[in-house]
Amino acid sequence: MCSKYISTLTIAGSDSCGGAGLQADIKTMSALGCYACSVVTAVTAQDTTGVRCVVDMSADLVERQLRAVMCDICPSAIKTGMLGDADVVAAIADTLSSFPRVPLVVDPIIAATSGDSLMRQGTLQMLVDRLIPLASLLTPNLPEAETLAGMNIRSTGDIHMAARHILDMGCQAVLIKGGHADGKTKTDWLFTQTGMVKSFSAQTITTSNTHGTGCTLSAAITAYLARGLDLVCAVDKGKRYLSQAIKAGAEVTTGHGHGPLNHFFHPQKLIIQP
| Residues marked as catalytic | 177, 210, 212-215
- Round to whole Å and give the CA distance between 26 and 39: 11
Integer CA distances (angstroms), 120 to 7, 114, 149, 157, in order: 30, 17, 19, 31
Tell me the chain's radius of gyration from C-alpha atoms: 17
- Round to whole Å and give the CA distance between 134 and 121: 21
